[in-house]
Amino acid sequence: MNVIKISDWVSKALMVLAAAWTIAISFLVLADIIGRGAFDFPIHGTAEMVAASIVIIVFLQTGYAIRSRSMLRADFLVTHLPDIAQRILLALGYILGVLFFLMIITGGWQESVLSFVENEFEGEGALRVPSWPARWTVLLGSALAMINYCVMAYVDVFRPDLMRQEVEEMKQLDMEH
Amino acid sequence: MFELNIAVILIVSLVALVAIGVHIAVALGMTSALGIWMVTGADINAFHTVQSMLAATAYEAIRAYVFAVIPLFLLMGEFIGRSGTVTDVYRGINQLLSKIPGRLAIATVIGNALFSFVTGVSIASAATFSRIAYPEMKRFGYHKGFALGTVAGSSCLGMLIPPSVLMIVWGILTEQSIGQIFAAGVLPGLLLTTLFVIYVFLRAIMNPGLVGGGAAQPNANDVSDPADTVTTGQFLISLTGIFLVIVAVLGGIWFGVFTPTEGAGAGAFIGLMLAIIKGARLRDIIDGILSVGRTSAPILLLLVTAALYSRTLAMTGMANAIEGVFIGSGMAPWLVITVMVLIWFALGMIIDSISIMLLTAAIFAPIAVKLGIDPIAFAIIGIIAIEAGLYTPPFGLLVYTVKSAIQGFDPDMDVMTIFKSSTPYWIIMLVAMVMIINFPAIATWLPNLLFPS
């Protein structure tokens, strides 16, 4: 249970960080437009920074997207099945999720380490952005995604009470929208 | 390269995974992994290839300036949605139309159209209008099904009128200009709005009982609760705000001043200003930002796996094979389009519109071009068909959104009633789609004017 609390806290914290980052990006883009339009002085490297930021933002949010049940899925068929079958299929899906993000990590960690050691850069235009922050965030986000898929499998298969409560909370969030 | 059994295995496993409720992104990713593994030799080396391709795609697929357009437009929509502008405009239009039969329903359609210019998602429109317009119509004695049908039916305008997340995703998947697709949606969107208004108006005249006629009709300006009216000042601020967003964002993109990303950045800022002017609390603004944190990642993750999926389609030769089947069958172009539309409808019963697009756009769009259909017009045809699919009984997803949005104050409303009442809107969408297939200029005229090649 404590593990779940910790991973939930981390997921939420990274999501908030990513949300703040998104706002920062919008101000950067705006500053670039104003700088270019009003003072003929664009902010060099905006495009490069935004591009790298998008990867970082998405993988910072991945864990939370999974945990908050925001990932898109089709539940039209599953809802007609008996409860136990539903939960087994859910678990199966989560295991596939674990495998998917595991493969992203195993396939990418070497390059991520190298990008740091060898000081790899992206872009040859206005600004050269180091590639390691985005690469490492992909690893971090994938690792959290794996943990959260495991948590979801535990909750949905063994703790239906907790699952129902979480689904209700999720609906509440949607209604506020 | 192409082997039929590989294609069959992939399609079957993708459909099976989606059907048993696996996250669409994971279903796409794992099916792609399987496909890549099979075509690269199905051994341990192939497994290494799969892993490095997954890792490379995760890092590279969305590392581009254009992808920022999605969170930024969502941010703009959140700010404007929370500013109360929509409610003001809905009530303002309503008061302006005070003598017209069915005015609440007409205000819903027009309000949706206006709201669509400043937001990108139709589920948001459906949820918002279910809560603003439906109680109002109910209070004035409208037939409940008719009221909800109007809410559900007109919410499709959100995707068809720019900016729209669906248009952005279509543009990314098919490598078409997002600005041009935005422009292409304007006339079809206005066409649909007009047809919807005509439909509501005719029904209201022919059957006044539907819109509370016969019963003592309270005057629009004579509402008991002053909180339900909008002052002229607030109405004008809201209307100006919306027009400012349209001019700055869409105008900026169309006249080449902004890239779509810059337009979205500017829009997010104007939206924030509007929310502040309209007195949104800091808490609302933070909630809006967090809400984008929750909604944008699933879409962008889907785009990562979609990139993987399109590579798989190319590597396995599946895209060419499917294209060959369609082109080689000797079917008339209209028949091919009909088959595509039927597939979209079928998918609309099980998955959301963005997922449908990811699965089909990369395959269908090249076929349509081979058949001689303008790619920009086809984008609009596809978006209308996919949106219409969301109303197709018995599973249309949008209807369930409306149902759950009104759960709180009208739990007895059954889904079939909503379906029945939104069917006319569904038919009107099909009519509009057929018109665009026959007269693609409805879609292509404006982009050709704005972007002369």
Say yes or no for a CB contact (<8 Å) between B23 and A73: yes
Residues B63-92: tens digit of each pLDDT = 888 888 888 888 888 888 888 787 888 888
Residue B4 has pLDDT above 80, yes or no: no
pLDDT at position A176, please? Answer: 53
CA neighbours closer than 13 Å in the CB half-sphere of residue B113: 20
Q: Taking CB atoms and an 8 Å cutoff, what residues of chain A touch B404?
A: 171
pLDDT band at B247 (very low <50, low <70, confident <90, very high): confident
What chain B residue is nearest to A105 in terms of C-alpha separation? B55
Residues B319-375: tens digit of each pLDDT = 777 888 888 878 888 888 999 999 998 888 777 788 888 888 888 998 998 888 899
Say yes or no for a CB contact (<8 Å) between A30 and B55: no
Q: Taking CB atoms and an 8 Å cutoff, what residues of chain B touch A72?
A: 23-25, 298, 302, 351-352, 354-355
Residues B374-388: tens digit of each pLDDT = 999 999 999 999 888
Per DSSP, what are the bridge partners of residue B142? B211
pLDDT band at B216 (very low <50, low <70, confident <90, very high): very low
Residues B183-192: tens digit of each pLDDT = 999 999 999 9
Q: Taking CB atoms and an 8 Å cutoff, what residues of chain A touch B296?
A: 22, 57-58, 61
Closest chain B C-alpha to A2 CA, distance in angstroms: 23
Tell me the average confidence (pLDDT) per consecutive run of 10 residues in chain A, 177 residues long.
Answer: 80 88 89 82 81 91 86 76 84 92 87 77 70 87 92 82 74 58
Confirm if A165 and A117 have CB atoms less than 8 A apart. no
pLDDT at position B351, please? Answer: 78
Q: Give the least confident one: A138-142, B87-91, B123-127, B241-245.
A: B123-127
pLDDT band at B121 (very low <50, low <70, confident <90, very high): low
- Residues B265, B76: Cα–Cα separation, whole Å: 8
pLDDT at position B224, please? Answer: 46
Phi, psi of A129 (to 5 degrees): -105, 130
Measured over the CA atoms of residue B434, residue B439, residue B444 and residue B446, the dihedral's sign is negative
The percent of residues above 90 in pLDDT, for chain B, comes to: 13
Question: In this structure, what token pair is assigned to residue B298?
Answer: 């699933």
Which element (helix H / strand E) includes A9? helix A2-39
pLDDT at position B181, please? Answer: 92
Tell me the residues of chain A between 126 and 165 that have a Cβ less than 8 Å away from chain B.
Answer: 134-135, 138, 142
Residues B53, B57, B59: CA angle, nearest 5 degrees: 125
Give the other-Cβ count within 10 Å of B324's Cβ.
13
pLDDT at position B184, please? Answer: 92
Which element (helix H / strand E) includes A130? strand A129-130
- The amino acid at A159: R
For residue B333, give every residue at least 6 positions away whose Cβ sits within 8 Å of its Cβ, in sequence order, or none: B371, B372, B373
Closest chain B C-alpha to A160 CA, distance in angstroms: 17
Confirm if A59 and A142 have CB atoms less than 8 A apart. yes
* Facing B21 at nearest CB: one of A70, A74, A134: A74
Q: Which of B88, B178, B160 is nearest to B121 (CA)?
A: B160
Residues B278-313: tens digit of each pLDDT = 877 888 888 888 888 777 888 888 888 888 888 888
Residue B48 has pLDDT above 90, yes or no: no
- Residues B154, B193: Cα–Cα separation, whole Å: 8
Residue B219 has pLDDT above 70, yes or no: no
Tell me the residues of chain A between 11 and 70 that have a Cβ less than 8 Å away from chain B.
Answer: 15-16, 18-20, 22-23, 25-30, 32-33, 37, 47, 50-55, 57-59, 61-62, 64-66, 68, 70
Say yes or no for a CB contact (<8 Å) between B258 and A175: no
For residue A167, give every residue at least 6 positions away whose Cβ sits within 8 Å of its Cβ, in sequence order, or none: A69
pLDDT at position A159, please? Answer: 76
DSSP A136-164: HHHHHHHHHHHHHHHHHHHHHHH-HHHHH
How does the average pLDDT of chain B come out, rounded?
Answer: 82
DSSP B312-373: HHHHHTHHHHHHHHHHHTT--HHHHHHHHHHHHHHHHTTS-HHHHHHHHHHHHHHHHHHTT-
Closest chain B C-alpha to A98 CA, distance in angstroms: 9
For residue B92, give every residue at least 6 positions away whose Cβ sits within 8 Å of its Cβ, in sequence order, or none: B230, B235, B238, B239
Q: Which of B59, B281, B395 to mutate to test the interface with A (most CBs of A within 10 A)?
A: B59
Residue B7 has pLDDT above 90, yes or no: no
pLDDT band at B143 (very low <50, low <70, confident <90, very high): confident
Say yes or no for a CB contact (<8 Å) between B72 and A22: yes
pLDDT at position B434, please? Answer: 93
Give the other-Cβ count within 10 Å of B42's Cβ.
12
* Facing A177 at nearest CB: one of B29, B258, B291: B291
Closest chain A C-alpha to B302 CA, distance in angstroms: 9
- The amino acid at B142: Y
